[in-house]
Amino acid sequence: MTTSTRHIISLLMENESGALSRVAGLFSARGYNIESLTVAPTEDPTLSRMTIVTSGSDEVIEQIIKQLNKLIDVVKVLDLNDGKFIERELMLVKVKATGTFREEMKRMCDIFRGRIIDVADGSFTIELTGSGTKLDAFIESLDKSAILETVRTGASGIGRGDRILKV
Amino acid sequence: MKFAMEPGMANSSKQLTGAEILIRCLHEENVEFVFGYPGGAVLHIYDAIFHQDKFKHILVRHEQAALHAADAYSRSTGKVGVALVTSGPGATNAVTGIATAYMDSIPMVIISGQVPTYAIGEDAFQECDTVGITRPCVKHNFLVKDVKDIASTMKKAFYVAASGRPGPVLVDIPKDITAHLCDFDYPETVHLRSYNPVTKGHLGQIKKALKLLTEAKRPMVYSGGGVILGDASEHLNKLIQSLGLPITSTLMGLGCFPASDPKFLGMLGMHGTYEANMAMQDCDVLLAVGARFDDRVIGNTAHFLSNPRTIIHIDIDPSSISKRVKIDVPIVGDVKSVLADMNELIATENLKQNKVELASWFKQIDAWRTKKCMNYAQSSELIKPQYVIQKLHEVTKGEAFVTSDVGQHQMWAAQYYKFEQPRRWINSGGLGTMGVGLPYAMGVQLAFPDAQVACVTGEGSIQMNIQELSTCAQYQLPIKVIMLNNRYLGMVRQWQEFFYENRYSESYMDSLPDFVKLAEAYGHVGMQITKPGDVEGALKEAFAMKSRFVFLDFITDQKENVFPMIQNGKGLSEMILAEDL
Ligand SMILES: Cc1ncc(C[n+]2csc(CCOP(=O)(O)OP(=O)(O)O)c2C)c(N)n1
Ligand SMILES: [Mg+2]
């Protein structure tokens, strides 16, 4: 058995009710990991695009791809890790912004190229995009007691250059 | 008040109700039998059935049996089985049958009624999320939300069920939809952009496989249920005959190659023959055809892999390949088409095995055969279950359709009834569902009214769908029930004897009914056989009653165990044989 690695799997599926639960059900029924899962309709409203972040040995990833392909609603599957790709995730963080925290937060936000999108008396809301590791790093670098709330979208991914996932 | 369901009204407008459309779809698909049970949500559909006579509706006594009967109709004929159940409890009762078919890849279309669209989600009477409940055990399912979608959905359902790796497809139809009116237009073809099952295998891979096989010193063929599902027996036979290869079958594959052929080593796996398991372990090139390296077949995977061999795997489902065992030469394709391509190449390129190598391999196989692992101690006092099956084989000349339940009796039927043809051995391999035997026999007997149909069962299993004795009476099905009555949940008792120091926890079958009287109460013939000397006579007598359902209660040796046996976690060559004890 090879060691477990993180994979980003992109797929196009029929934009039909129940399609999402088929994918989610497959992962739970077969005991595959899901780190994150995002889904939204594409420019063609009959199709949805899903990005799943999972991890497993090469054998497990191969099975995941095959099992996804087997679902009748799934039109196309691509393991982004098979080539070059870009990964982005959006995070909104509400932080304490009182006293010295106010300057500190602005500075941290700048360093990570985030944006403050809401300002209130005692708090800022910061918007940050990037890879999962970058978002993790941002959280790490904040004083835990300053974090009031976080929300992350989960990763979206796309192949580089002419690696295109389309019907 | 006027109801759309009145036939006159539907005709005058030339439009049909959803229920009528559904029936027309079944006619278009040439459905012969619908196995079902009515209820509130499907009343419009049942009324439409009342007005037609192109297919026959078989009224079972429990929805689970409808599913099993439709499943066996499919297993024995190769056609799509059709079942119809009502919403809520009708659908939940069907789930075991659906899961059973799913595990063995049986093509079926299940129509379930649903509460009206406007009531969905309101915990309406007899509402359940049928699509949600069945999702993990169907190949696909649909909820029809518009009468206009019934015809196209049914077309898709039949197509998806029967193509690629087959499986059950469920169509859930809310009651109001079945009353709405619409023009009927059955699509001629169906296209799903997300579903394109492969057919042809990759020629390069096929050539590679043939090279490996013909150069092998110890080649072996391992065939499974996929050969039967893919109607590829003839092609497999041709391959085996032209190359002269030894072959084994899984429980699901029995009959895909004639058991009487000297190249057949018998069934493999947990209760497989010594020679099949040893050859499987010891071969240097293995050709797996329509089989899936199930845990009951190869035992401990690490042990299996400890002996290096090159593995070629032909299967229509890519996810079956390299799932449990890494495959060296995968060939994704329809088994029949791949085997046909192989046979053609063998003929045109005049491919042959090395005669000397093959002869010495068969010499080794024959040495394993001398173990005579299927021998058992005869008794003049007690009926040995194996003996009953052997006599059943003799009396029916090996030509019967044999259905079975799940347990020791199933293994003995698989071991001692020598199947010569595909689609004759009907049992639940994947899910191992007790209770399938009798409804399976119903589905087969309806499909083949003149054939001999034997249901091999145990006193535990038969009681799981015993109510179907009534269905058998209604449709005058001349099934012969061969019950191996050991007063135990025998397979459970065997494991308790081996692994729990004879602590027979809840495996004794107490308070059994008088099965002879029970059969008679339903209007059937009942017989109880207690002496070995009476076995053959009773079987002959029963099968001579060509138009009667006969229930034969064989009182067998309670302590008999199934051998050979591979314990959980052990490897293929680590069998326990009867002679070891
Ligand atoms: C629905 C269901 N419940 C439980 C089991 C577990 N099980 C497997 S074999 C068996 C015993 C079957 O007893 P019987 O039908 O008398 O057959 P025997 O083994 O005695 O031949 C049981 C309980 C099962 N396979 N299916
Ligand atoms: Mg029993």
Residue B333: CB within 6 Å of ligand 1?
no
Chain A residues within 8 A of B326 when measuring between CB atoms: 59
| pLDDT confidence of residue B9 | 47
DSSP assignment letter at B256: S
What separation in Å is there between the alpha carbon of A112 and the centre of ligand 1?
A: 63
Bridge partners of residue A78, in order along the sequence:
A10
Q: B461 in ligand 1 pocket by Cβ < 6 Å? A: yes
Q: What is the pLDDT of residues A92-125, one digit of tens each?
A: 999 999 988 899 999 999 999 999 999 999 999 9
Q: How far, in Å, are B7, B9, B182, B248, B419 from residue B2 at the CA level?
A: 11, 9, 17, 63, 57
Report the residue of A16, A28, A72 to disrupt the B interface, i.e. the one with the largest count of B CBs within 10 Å.
A72
Given this model, what pLDDT does residue B484 score? 98
Q: At what angle do helices B490-499 and B408-416 cross, to 10 degrees?
A: 100
B237 Cβ partners below 8 Å, 6+ apart?
B257, B258
| For residue A17, pLDDT beyond 90 | no
Pick the catalytic residue: B220, B342, B491, B527?
B491
Which of A66, A67, A74 shows the shortest C-beta gap to B194? Answer: A74
| The pLDDT value given to residue B75 | 98
Under 8 Å between Cβ of B107 and B166: yes
Residues 325-344 on B with a CB inside 8 Å of A are: 326
B-chain residues within 8 Å CB-CB of A14? 194
CA–CA dist B46, A156 (Å, integer): 49
Instruction: Give the bridge partners for B314, in sequence order.
Output: B289, B331
Taking the C-alpha atoms of residue B131 and residue B515, their distance in angstroms, rounded to an integer, is: 39
B70/B109 Cα distance (integer angstroms): 9
CA distance B173 to chain A (A): 15
Which residues of chain B lie closer than 8 angstroms to A25, CB-CB?
135-136
- Summarised one tens digit per residue, pLDDT across range B105-114 is 999 999 999 9
- In one-letter notation, the amino acid at residue B509 is M
The pLDDT assigned to B14 comes to 83
Q: How confident is the model at residue A1 (pLDDT cuts 50, 70, 90)?
A: low
Could you tell me the two tokens for A107? Answer: 């500075």
For the stretch A133-165, pLDDT in tens is: 999 999 999 999 999 999 999 999 999 999 999
The pLDDT of residue B2: 45
Buried b (16+ CB within 10 A) or exposed e, B16-35: bbbbbbbbbbbebbebbbbb
Residue B579's pLDDT is what? 85
**CB B66, CB B110: distance < 8 Å:** no
pLDDT tens-digit series, residues B314-371:
999 999 999 999 999 999 999 999 999 999 999 999 999 999 999 999 999 999 999 9
Q: What is the pTM of this model?
A: 0.96
Chain B 275-334, CB below 8 Å of chain A: which residues?
317-319, 322-323, 326
Ligand 2 centroid to Cα of residue B506, in Å, is 12
Q: Judge contact between B389 and B417, C-beta under 8 A.
A: yes
Query: Which residue positions in chain B have pLDDT lower than 70?
Result: 1-13
Please report the sign of the dihedral spanned by the C-alpha atoms of residue A115, residue A117, residue A119, residue A122: negative
Do B225 and B105 form a contact (C-beta atoms < 8 A)? yes
Non-local (6+) Cβ contacts of B438 within 8 A are B65, B403, B455, B457, B462, B465, B466, B468, B469, B472, B479, B481
How much distance in Å is there from the Cα of A76 to the middle of ligand 1?
42
